[in-house]
Structure 1
Amino acid sequence: MPEKVVKAEEEWRRELSPEEYYVLRLAGTEPPGTGEYLHNEQVGVYRCRACGAELFRSETKFDSHCGWPSFWSPMAGDRVRLLEDRSHGMVRTEVRCSRCDSHLGHVFEGEGYPTPTDQRYCINSIALTFEPAQQAEPDHQSERKA
């Protein structure tokens, strides 16, 4: 993983749109069914919108019918941080970018999806950017870990 990105909240506010800031920095959620990558079926890499870190590959994306893009695994375990989230009267596992600590979404386990991990990384589209495969540059660090 590339070196950490640390910025003052004022910098994040200047660099991100109000909607991006709400999700990435305030742990908000975009409305279900509205994200630009919900139905994206192109091959490529999903990156953190705030810092550009490579997080998910299209090969791990699946249609969970939950209203947000779903992945069964991040590119590598060190790409995301998992935190207990007790907001909204429930216990969930929050997913954050390891590089810049931006909120991405939540991960759920044991829902019975036919995936190799039985996990559903439910990620806000607005927290991501997408690079089609022909444009994505190789990530040599993840190749070494594989």
Structure 2
Amino acid sequence: MYSRRQLLLAGGGLGVAVLAGGLLKQLDLVSDADAAETFEVNHTDAEWRSLLTAEQYAILREEGTERPYSSTLNDEHRAGLFACAGCALPLFSSSTKFNSHTGWPSFWQPLDNAVASHTDTSYGVVRKEIHCRRCGGHQGHVFDDGPQPTGLRYCMNGAAMTFTAA
């Protein structure tokens, strides 16, 4: 049997959650369109697991994050293209890569029509998650503390990408 206090606290918590969700939608920080996105490249979960390494699967399909400074692409400085490890779509040019000193490959701009985004409210903060627009593979997040000309920092997981030298 629940006490009156437990019921009031549970009801109050539910009310706060509903109000917070409504406020985020009203401020256009969360949209219903985020969940309805479809992609050109689709595979079953079993197919994705067979196509990707365990680390790639954890990042691309489960929105994981690699350890900082663990990717060889963080130190990749040759001219070329960074592509999605899930579907090979080119995402970033090396000409927009910079050293953010965060431990992840960072870029100030993606290639045209390469990435899409949705609102990520995990960990109690509102962030913009970046994914491949063709297969939906999670790449990382974008922040507004990057260099000019965009002022953006696309902080990407190296394991979610491949590199092809020019």
2:43 matched to 1:7?
A: yes
The correspondence for 2:120, drawn from 41, 64, 85, is 85
SS in 1 for 2:73: coil
Q: Which has the larger radius of gyration?
A: 2
Give 5+ residue unaligned stretches, structure 1.
134-146
User: How far off its partner does 1:4 sit?
Assistant: 1.4
Contact 2:147 2:153 in 1 (8 A): no
The residue aligned with 1:118 is 151
Paired with 1:43 and 1:115, the residues of 2 have a C-alpha distance of 20
More strand by share: 1
The correspondence for 1:44, drawn from 58, 61, 80, is 80
| Residue identity in the other structure for 1:88 | Y
Q: How many residues align?
A: 128
RMSD: 1.1
Moved over 6 A (4+): none
User: How far off its partner does 1:9 sit?
Assistant: 1.0
Paired with 2:154 and 2:147, the residues of 1 have a C-alpha distance of 14
User: How far off its partner does 1:114 sit?
Assistant: 3.0
Give 5+ residue unaligned stretches, structure 2.
1-38
The residue aligned with 1:139 is none
User: How far off its partner does 1:28 sit?
Assistant: 0.0
TM-score w.r.t. length of structure 2: 0.75
The residue aligned with 2:161 is 128
- The alignment-based identity, stated in percent, is 45
| Residue identity in the other structure for 1:23 | I
More helix by share: 2
Identify the structure with bigger relative contact order (alpha carbons < 8 Å, sequence gap 6+).
1
Paired with 1:18 and 1:128, the residues of 2 have a C-alpha distance of 14
SS in 2 for 1:13: helix
